């Protein structure tokens, strides 16, 4: 593996109750996060293809870890998202190189489908920085019940020469979603939007 | 005593390969189980609260079991543990102390009679408060390589009338432990200290 991983973390959140109303079945989401060395830290590197390759490896590893943490087969996942935080000696473009060119294909392979764009966010920050991973339905971006976000944070990452890369997957939408819009049973799943 | 009402659970697992030194032959794994419950005593001073410890026992056991399973399923692989609580702003610190017995004894039971006191911490705080849960060796508190801590927290908990309960387990020493002291291999395991 090209990526030099210092640490991997997974988080599984299960919401059982909101404002006294049971959430049945519980809304569950998982995030898998890798803390890796940034091979381009501390200097300007024109060609970021090394980071793109790392993104491809991490897409597969993190998607597998996230669905394993939920204990579901990949195709049962409903929504997804990705995010990266670059340590202070790196550029925001390093996050883009990991997330955008190659990370999505292996994620979609693990999840069976994934017609929709994978929503993403990125930032540069110090250790303990909070990543809000945006979430959207994997086959139809307009499914309103699945617009969501998941916060992840690792107190000792990213160090200055590291990048923290996260993939989040859910088996459900928001708990008690009730603001209308396209619902998941209406998905056509052709254009990734509806 | 009132029934325990769980709003949300979180399982977090960290797998640490190295921290700048040689990669460990077997990565250190640490896991935290969090449960956000309604604080039945929030908003007023209640003198008699002790009975609620009994009510929390099933939840403690469930969380302890979920930690063992998050770390691979073998109770014998667990070497360190700790516990903690964050009480929402309408409660008092003493409500967090209700977790000592059900949290600690649940882990000991699941681990087959661990000898050492379960190190702990607690505080009153708002949503997003972080807690550094202290960790020590399960059979001998003085094992220096196993002194550790894991930071936990949830962006949306505890609300004012909630308590966030935490249990933590680890599979070994700090990844590059090398400051001497009592070793895990030297533990007598009689008094819980050495």
CATH of the domain at A163: 3.30.1330.110
Q: How far apart are CA A44 and CA A52, in angstroms?
A: 16
Residue in A90, A109, A88 with CA at minimum distance from that of residue A98: A90
- Structural domain contains residue B115: yes
Asked if the C-beta of A1 comes within 8 angstroms of chain B's C-beta atoms, the answer is no
Q: Is A73 helix (H, G, I), strand (E, B) or coil?
A: coil
- Structural domain contains residue B194: no
- Structural domain contains residue A91: yes
Q: Which of B4, B13, B71 to mutate: most A Cβ within 10 Å? A: B13
Q: Which of A1, A4, A16 to mutate: most B Cβ within 10 Å? A: A16
Residue in A191, A143, A130 with CA at minimum distance from that of residue A170: A143
- Structural domain contains residue A191: no
Q: How far apart are CA B102 and CA A34, in angstroms?
A: 33
Q: Is B1 helix (H, G, I), strand (E, B) or coil?
A: coil
Q: Report the pLDDT averaged over residues B112-130.
A: 94
Q: Which of B5, B9, B166 to mutate: most A Cβ within 10 Å? A: B9
The pLDDT of residue A190 is: 86
Token pair, residue B11, equals 């399982």
The count of other CB atoms within 10 Å of the CB of residue A22 is: 12
Q: Which of B5, B8, B17 sits opposite A13 (nearest CB)?
A: B8
The pLDDT of residue A35 is: 98
Residue in A154, A86, A89, A162 with CA at minimum distance from that of residue A124: A86
Looking at the structure of chain A, the number of domains it has is 1
Contacts with B, A 121-150, CB within 8 Å: 130
Identify the CATH number of the domain in which residue B108 sits: 3.30.1330.110
Asked if the C-beta of A151 comes within 8 angstroms of chain B's C-beta atoms, the answer is yes
- Structural domain contains residue B192: no
Structural domain containing residue B110 = 6-186
Residues B81, B150, A133, A159: is their CA dihedral positive or negative? negative
Longest dimension (CA), chain B: 54
Task: Return the CA Rg of chain B.
Answer: 17
Contact A18 B10 (CB under 8 A): no
Give helix B100-110 / helix B52-70 axis angle, nearest 10°.
40
Residue B143 to residues B133, B135, B154, B192: CA-CA distances in angstroms?
17, 11, 30, 10
Overall residue count recorded for chain B in this entry = 194
**Contact residues, chain B to chain A, C-beta under 8 Å:** 5-20, 130, 151, 153-155
The pLDDT of residue B135 is: 96
What is the interface pTM, i.e. ipTM, of the complex? 0.83
Contact A9 B5 (CB under 8 A): no
Residue B2 above 80 pLDDT?
A: no
Q: What are phi and psi of B67, to 5 degrees?
A: -70, -45
Residue A28 to residues A61, A120, B117: CA-CA distances in angstroms?
20, 19, 33
Phi-psi region of B181 (alpha: psi -120 to 50; beta: other; left: phi over 0): left
- Give A15-27 pLDDT, tens digit per residue: 999 999 999 999 9
Token pair, residue A3, equals 């990526």
Q: Report the pLDDT averaged over residues A45-60.
A: 97
- Structural domain contains residue A192: no
The pLDDT of residue B113 is: 84
Q: How far apart are CA A60 and CA A107, in angstroms?
A: 6
State the virtual CA torsion across B115, B117, B118, B119 in degrees, nearest 10: -140
Residue B7 to residues A133, B66, B68, B101: CA-CA distances in angstroms?
22, 17, 22, 22
Q: Is B171 helix (H, G, I), strand (E, B) or coil?
A: coil
Distance from CA of A50 to the nearest CA of B (A): 21
Q: Which of A5, A18, A153 sits opposite B17 (nearest CB)?
A: A5
Residue in A7, A9, A4, A5 with CA at minimum distance from that of residue A133: A9
The pLDDT of residue A1 is: 84
- Structural domain contains residue A194: no
Q: How far apart are CA B92 and CA B49, in angstroms?
A: 12
- Give B149-159 pLDDT, tens digit per residue: 999 999 999 99
- Structural domain contains residue B92: yes
- The percent of residues in chain B predicted with pLDDT above 90, rounded, is 95
- Structural domain contains residue A32: yes
Q: Report the pLDDT averaged over residues A159-167.
A: 98
Residues in B touching A36 (Cβ below 8 Å):
none
Q: Which of B8, B11, B154 sits opposite A16 (nearest CB)?
A: B8
Average pLDDT of the residues of chain A: 96
Helices (H) and strands (E) counted in chain A, each on its own, are 3, 7
- Give B18-62 pLDDT, tens digit per residue: 999 999 999 999 999 999 999 999 999 999 999 999 999 999 999
Residues in A touching B155 (Cβ below 8 Å):
130, 151
Q: Which of B7, B62, B63, B131 to mutate: most A Cβ within 10 Å? A: B7
Average pLDDT of the residues of chain B: 95
Looking at the structure of chain B, the number of domains it has is 1
Contacts of B169 (CB under 8 A, 6+ apart): B30, B31, B64, B67, B68, B71, B78, B80, B81, B107
Instruction: Tell me which chain B residue has its CA closest to the CA of residue A21.
Output: B7
Residue B115 above 90 pLDDT?
A: yes
Token pair, residue B58, equals 């099933």
The pLDDT of residue A33 is: 98
Q: Report the pLDDT averaged over residues B4-31.
A: 96
- Give B176-185 pLDDT, tens digit per residue: 999 999 999 9
Structural domain containing residue A164 = 5-186
Contacts with B, A 68-107, CB within 8 Å: 69
- Give A107-133 pLDDT, tens digit per residue: 999 999 899 999 999 999 999 999 999
- pLDDT tier, B77 (very low <50, low <70, confident <90, very high otherwise): very high
Asked whether the beta carbons of B126 and B46 are under 8 A apart, the reply is: no
Strands B119-124 and A162-170: unpaired
């Amino acid at each position: 593996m090209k990526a030099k991983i210092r640490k991997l973390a997974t988080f599984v959140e299960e919401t059982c109750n909101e404002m006294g109303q049971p959430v049945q079945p519980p809304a569950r989401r998982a995030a898998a996060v890798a803390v890796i060395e940034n091979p381009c830290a501390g200097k300007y590197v024109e060609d970021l293809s090394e980071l793109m390759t790392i993104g491809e490896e991490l897409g597969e590893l993190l998607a597998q870890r996230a669905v394993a943490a939920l204990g579901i087969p990949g195709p049962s996942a409903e929504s997804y998202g990705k995010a990266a935080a670059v340590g202070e000696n790196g550029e925001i473009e390093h996050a883009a190189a990991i997330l955008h060119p190659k990370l999505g294909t292996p994620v979609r392979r693990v999840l069976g489908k994934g017609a929709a764009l994978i929503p993403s966010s990125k930032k540069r920050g110090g250790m303990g920085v909070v990543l809000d991973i945006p979430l959207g339905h994997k086959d139809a971006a307009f499914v309103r019940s699945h617009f969501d976000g998941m916060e992840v944070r690792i107190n000792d990452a990213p160090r200055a020469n590291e990048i923290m890369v996260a993939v989040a997957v859910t088996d459900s939408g928001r708990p008690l979603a009730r603001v209308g819009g396209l619902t998941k049973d209406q998905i056509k799943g052709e254009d990734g939007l509806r | 005593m009132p029934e325990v009402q769980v709003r949300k659970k979180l399982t977090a697992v960290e797998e640490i390969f190295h921290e700048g030194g040689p990669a460990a032959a077997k990565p250190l794994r640490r896991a935290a189980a969090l449960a956000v419950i309604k604080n039945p005593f929030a908003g007023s001073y209640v003198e008699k609260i002790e009975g609620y410890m009994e009510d929390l026992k099933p939840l403690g056991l469930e969380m302890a079991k979920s930690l063992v399973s998050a770390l691979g399923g073998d109770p014998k692989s667990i070497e360190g543990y700790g516990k903690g609580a964050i009480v929402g702003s309408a409660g008092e610190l003493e409500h967090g102390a209700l977790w000592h017995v059900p949290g600690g004894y649940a882990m000991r039971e699941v681990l087959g009679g661990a000898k050492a006191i379960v190190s702990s911490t607690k505080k009153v705080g708002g949503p997003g408060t972080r807690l550094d849960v202290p960790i020590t060796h399960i059979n001998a508190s003085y094992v220096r390589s196993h002194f550790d801590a894991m930071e936990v927290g949830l962006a949306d908990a505890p609300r004012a009338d909630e308590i966030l309960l935490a249990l933590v387990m680890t599979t070994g020493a700090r990844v590059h432990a090398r400051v001497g002291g009592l070793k895990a291999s030297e533990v007598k395991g009689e008094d819980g200290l050495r």
